[in-house]
């Protein structure tokens, strides 16, 4: 099971590397950087959508699940990518956006024409209320009601996201089978797994019951606050329905026919950790799941400990995958208190990679890239355009990857990039950090190689220790091997009394091969933790 303990490197293809010099990254651009990816010591790459799309939501609105958008290349490019990645022992995971399609998908073009065609029941259609208003109170994540009127059918269709992203009707078994057939198309092309976008959104409540209101004091939830009316409801009925578990099991049955393949589910529900536990339970559902619980602004040892404890209490035999950055949220070194130092960036990756589970690491995390403040005239994200200026959208974490400091656009493209190359990122370019043995990049590489030799970090159980802010500490145990792991989440030096840990440290031996900020045990009475330091010791 290669995926247990794996580090999965997320590539946002529009912003990774532009091979044909049109200002947009592409599949040949990824192929050209496979040696770089291999040098990172990661186990797999997850590539965000590259399928045919009108790009209203930059690829998460798919019009053809079985073809490549010309912006990114063609199927021959993808096949070459798979072959060359596998030759470097890199697994390939791709996004599958199953809950909805683009409104330009042929299925929807047919479905919206009338109520009698072959695809008439393939999307979520409903009649208006007597007064002509929407069928219920469900809202769109991107703002406004979650229903749009279609005059041809004289009905509303559901969209949990943009109005150009109509929701499929998974209560129709023909839809479920067609979706599974699309997934299998890529399995036959040799992919090693899938990241399943918004996988708990596939089924809706067939009775179309209203979502209950959420009290004002509870409207701050992960990813949403009072800037977005989506936070005003408990989303009990527009997603995370019991019927979805059967569909999840159908996905697993399909993947089991292709040994070694894996499914990672993105889960955002009212109780994401509980849903994650359900979706990864046993051997018949998803292999892994990840939630947004560590993609928040909350950066304290107590919060991280609470999230991990809650997950461990509910997941049991399931396997988590941790993420602190992706293409939808502010970059972690900015989000968690502003970029403090290179040691801060190093510590964050070490911390997330030392929890029990696998890791999703977003491109640029290995360089310590910060969030970029995008001018309004350069904003491309429809989410940001709608909610500007209270929320500036997701473009700030999607800017081009810097490769060469002295090259135009830092080597990303000779053409004007689709989003601006951040001036502050140029000095963090790959060629600059390559030359510095103490850079964030080289620390990332060294840590991944060192971690591969630590079975307790890859596969072991976790025991969280009772420490005070700003210290996070735990023990990882695997087949008699025990590691004590400690992190100082602050920029002030900390002394951690060994006696306070509640574990036997009599034979504690500090491990220093990971190239992180040096910590030390002082006469075995205390662990000295400099600013943003990490400590690994064998018990």
Residues 349 and 467 in one domain: no
Instruction: Tell me the pairing of strands 288-290 and 262-266.
Output: parallel
* Active site (annotated) includes residue 110: no
285 and 182 in one domain?
Answer: yes
pTM of the model: 0.96
Domain closes at, from 392, 423, 451: 451
Tell me what pLDDT residue 217 has.
Answer: 87
117 occurs within a structural domain: no
CATH code of the domain covering residue 18: 3.20.20.80
> Do 356 and 312 sit in the same domain of this protein?
yes
| pLDDT tens digits along 312-330 | 988 878 899 999 999 999 9
Residue 107 in any domain: the answer is: no
pLDDT greater than 80 at residue 347 = yes
Give mean pLDDT, residues 350-366: 97
Residues 85, 206, single domain; the answer is: yes
Q: Is residue 430 domain-shared with residue 501, that is, in the same domain?
A: no
**pLDDT score for 260:** 97
CATH number at residue 530: 2.60.40.1180
Domain holding 477, by residue range, is 461-538
Cβ atoms 78, 49 nearer than 8 A: no
For 263, list phi and psi in degrees, rounded to 5.
Answer: -120, 130
Work out the average pLDDT over 123-134: 98
Picking from 419, 451, 483, the residue at the C-terminal end of a domain is: 451
**Which of 410, 430, 451 is where one domain is finished?**
451
Whole-number Cα distances in Å, 357 to 56, 206, 308, 470: 34, 35, 10, 23
The reported pLDDT for the residue numbered 223 is: 52
498, 433: one domain? no
Whether residues 284 and 395 share a domain: the answer is yes
Whether the predicted pLDDT of 225 surpasses 60:
no
Which residue among 57, 61, 69, 266 is the active-site one? Answer: 266
Indicate if 381 and 435 belong to the same structural domain: yes
Least Cα distance to 290 among 262, 321, 313 occurs for 321
**In this structure, is residue 137 part of a structural domain?**
no
Tell me whether residue 399 is in a domain. yes
Which pLDDT value is given to residue 226? Answer: 60
Q: Residues 18, 197, 366, 371: which is the catalytic one?
A: 197
Residue 344 is inside which H or E element, if any? helix 342-354
404 and 280 part of one domain: yes
Total domains in the chain come to 2
- Residue 11, domain member (yes or no): yes
- 156 located within any domain: no
pLDDT tens per residue across span 13-53: 999 999 999 999 999 999 999 999 999 999 999 999 999 99
Same-domain status, 496 and 447: no
Q: Is residue 18 part of a domain?
A: yes
Query: Would residue 240 be called left, alpha or beta, if left means φ above 0 and alpha means ψ between -120 and 50 degrees?
Result: left
* Domain shared by 387 and 483, yes or no: no
Active site residue 197: yes
pLDDT for the residue numbered 314:
85
Q: Do 189 and 213 fall into the same domain?
A: yes
Residue 159 domain flag: no
């Amino acid at each position: 099971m290669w995926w247990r303990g794996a580090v999965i490197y997320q590539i946002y293809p529009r912003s990774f590397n532009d091979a044909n010099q049109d200002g947009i990254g592409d599949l040949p651009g990824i192929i050209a950087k496979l040696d770089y990816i291999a040098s990172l010591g990661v186990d797999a790459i997850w590539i965000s959508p590259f399928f045919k799309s009108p790009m209203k939501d930059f690829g998460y609105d798919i019009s053809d699940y079985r073809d490549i958008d010309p912006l990114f290349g063609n199927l021959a490019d993808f096949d070459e990518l798979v072959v060359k990645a596998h030759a470097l022992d890199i697994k390939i995971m791709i996004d599958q956006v199953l809950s909805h399609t683009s409104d330009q998908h042929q299925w929807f073009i047919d479905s919206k024409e009338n109520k009698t065609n072959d695809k008439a029941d393939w999307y979520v259609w409903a009649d208006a209320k007597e007064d002509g208003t929407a069928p219920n109170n469900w809202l769109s994540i991107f703002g406004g009601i979650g229903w749009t009127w279609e005059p041809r059918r004289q009905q509303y269709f559901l969209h949990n996201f943009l109005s150009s992203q109509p929701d499929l009707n998974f209560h129709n078994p023909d839809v479920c089978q067609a979706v599974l057939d699309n997934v299998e198309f890529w399995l036959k092309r040799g992919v090693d797994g899938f990241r399943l976008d918004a996988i708990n959104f596939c089924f809706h409540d067939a009775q179309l019951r209203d979502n209950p209101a959420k009290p004002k004091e509870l409207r701050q939830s992960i990813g949403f606050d009072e800037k977005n009316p989506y936070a005003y409801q408990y989303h009990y009925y527009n997603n995370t329905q019991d019927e979805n578990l059967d569909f999840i099991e159908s996905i697993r049955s399909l993947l089991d026919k292709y040994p070694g393949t894996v499914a990672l589910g993105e889960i955002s529900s009212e109780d994401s950790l509980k849903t994650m536990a359900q979706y990864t339970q046993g051997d018949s559902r998803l292999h892994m799941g990840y939630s947004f619980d560590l993609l928040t602004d909350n950066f304290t040892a107590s919060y991280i400990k609470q999230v991990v404890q809650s997950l461990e209490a509910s997941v049991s035999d399931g396997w988590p995958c941790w993420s602190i950055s992706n293409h939808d949220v502010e970059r972690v070194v900015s989000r968690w208190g502003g970029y403090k130092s290179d040691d801060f960036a190093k510590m964050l990756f070490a911390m997330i990679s030392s929890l029990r589970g696998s890791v999703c690491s977003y491109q640029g995390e290995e360089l310590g890239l910060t969030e970029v403040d995008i001018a309004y005239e350069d904003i491309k994200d429809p989410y940001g355009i709608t909610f500007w200026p209270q929320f500036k959208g997701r473009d700030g974490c999607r800017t081009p990857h810097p490769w060469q400091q002295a090259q135009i656009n830092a080597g990303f493209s000779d053409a004007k990039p689709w989003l601006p190359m951040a001036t502050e990122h140029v000095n963090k370019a790959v060629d600059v950090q390559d030359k510095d043995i103490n850079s964030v990049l080289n620390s990332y590489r060294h840590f991944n190689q060192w971690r591969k030799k630590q079975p307790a970090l890859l596969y072991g159980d976790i025991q969280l220790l009772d420490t005070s802010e700003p210290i996070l500490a735990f023990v990882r145990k695997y087949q008699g091997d025990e590691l004590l792991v400690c992190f100082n989440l602050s920029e002030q030096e900390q002394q951690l009394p060994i006696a306070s840990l509640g574990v036997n440290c009599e034979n504690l031996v500090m491990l220093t091969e990971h190239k992180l900020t040096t910590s030390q045990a002082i006469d075995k009475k205390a662990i000295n933790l400099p600013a943003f330091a990490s400590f690994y010791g064998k018990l």
